[in-house]
Structure 1
Amino acid sequence: MSTEPAEGDAQMPRPGNNPAIVVGVDGSDNGLRALDWALEEAAAHRCPVRLVYAYVPSAHRQGERVHGASPRMIAMYEEGREVFAAARAHLAGHRHADLVVGTALYEGPPAQVLIEMVSRARMCVVGRRGRGGLSSLLPGSTSMSLAVHARMPVVVVPPRGGQPADANGAGEANGAGGTAGPRVVVGVDLPAAGETAVEFAFEEALARGLPLLAVAAWDLAEPYAYNPAAVAEAVAEHQARTTRSLTQTLAPWREKYAEVPVTTLVEQSRPVTALVGHSGPADLLVLGGRAHPRSQVVAGSTTRAVLRRASCPVAVVHSPELPQASRNPA
């Protein structure tokens, strides 16, 4: 079903204005927590916030006429008013409430609505759990569909008191600032690191006045398992090569964002284990990747596993759709 605007101004700011942060709200506690996160993000970057609710009609209303004041349309407006009223009540007295510049009520699948809305937005922010309290990270769900298919950055905010992460990292941190305390963490997928995600992580750390932890995880293939000498040699080789690659990848961004304290961490571990393990004390975990067509089902990805288990907000930042030469951060 195509999405149809029904309330509010759904237009993103005109070119020259600071792009808005779009927040998907649904009346849930987790949705309101996502709104709180978006307001703090908007304050750090001095940009507006727009609230979007996507109404999905119940099965018995799917075939009703869409013109005129049909029961289906009345139900959509009533539900939208209820969701936005809850958001306004939550915003009462909030120090950044004035950054909310509009609401928009649409009919259609939430993921489809938001993917189309964020095409000109700064980012999209959603909660990890919906009104029913069930995880929204199942295949085809709103959070997962956005994280996999949206071209703009998507931030998934876990519920309050979310699953704690295992903070025991196997690697050794290098650089100023150590690995403890509030920080921004970026997972660097080497050798083809997503520069868009790396730059996003540096910008977030700068805006928040926090150090950045860059994590690169690697693991050995199974054939080494029964040859201890080969394992030791391979471990040393992989560790050294990954460390060099990570250093080279970060070098131009460290020069551009010289104010950001950077720690690098190369560890022999599965990427999901490493990233979730370091997400516990983090303010934000940034993942890279490439957006997939909406018709393509992506199963078993690192992104899905991290989103399901991370205890801090996770930003999924896709590289440009078409291959490009490495950008010069100068």
Structure 2
Amino acid sequence: MRYYGTVIRPPSEAASYLLQITYGCSHNKCTFCPTYLDKPFKVRPQHEVFEDIQEAQRLMPDTRRVFLCDGNAMVLNTEYLTNVLKALETAFPALQRVGIYANAHDILRKSIKELRTLVAHRLTIIYIGLESGSDKVLKKVCKGATAREIIQAVQKAQQAGFKVSVIALLGLGGTDLWKEHAVSTGRAISEMNPRYFSLLTLMLVPGTILYEQQQKGDFILPDPLTMLKEMRVIIEHTEMKRGCIFRSNHASNYLPLAGTLPKDKTRLLETIDLALKSGTQSLRPEYLRGL
């Protein structure tokens, strides 16, 4: 099995076989993201992918989960994806599910029929970054999609039978837009009502445009307690109609939380309030935070 450059996956895919079918991210313009700065986007030739699957079959014949890398492998056409999924089904009889990163346009470009075909071949979970429900914030960070487009993409994927895991970033609005960022994100998540919702905290990485903006004073990162206030406002503005598993246990976060919305909404808000009263002593120290 061959891997090129930095390979990332969601925390929930820790036990999955990671299969690179693309390199990098087809958008790769988000000002906050350092992941693929040194890796131009490229589609891997199918014969290479099939060779990797054959090797994985020999080494890990009992594989149950697979994650398709890199950044938004869902950009590939349905025929390519279906061929890969069929090869995985053949190689791994115990296969239960396949996961993938996507952006909004990857989903919106595909028909419901195409999406259902992928689900039928066990591609059943999509991870997508909302980042913020505020169009003003999304435009500033060059996300390449509006909040409405991301909401529609998530709704379409769920209509086709996918489970969707949505990610948003605390701190992305800076100190000037933090409240708008938080309120809009809570409302957008409510419209999506995804199966999973995770909050990460923005960490500024040298080499990214947003880091350079911060160095020049054009972007000010909120302090840890303001990040907690953001989290509180986001959760406060969620109105889920069906169960959504919520997590803020990523290593970047100051306060790890877990629960199901709307059932645990009050408990989550109370936990944040206690942390705010306790001050920074209750938060994860900087040296334990990471991407």
Per the normalisation by structure 2, the TM-score is 0.30
Question: RCO higher in 1 or 2 (8 Å CA, sep ≥ 6)?
Answer: 1
Per the normalisation by structure 1, the TM-score is 0.27
Larger radius of gyration: 1
Structure with bigger helix share is 2
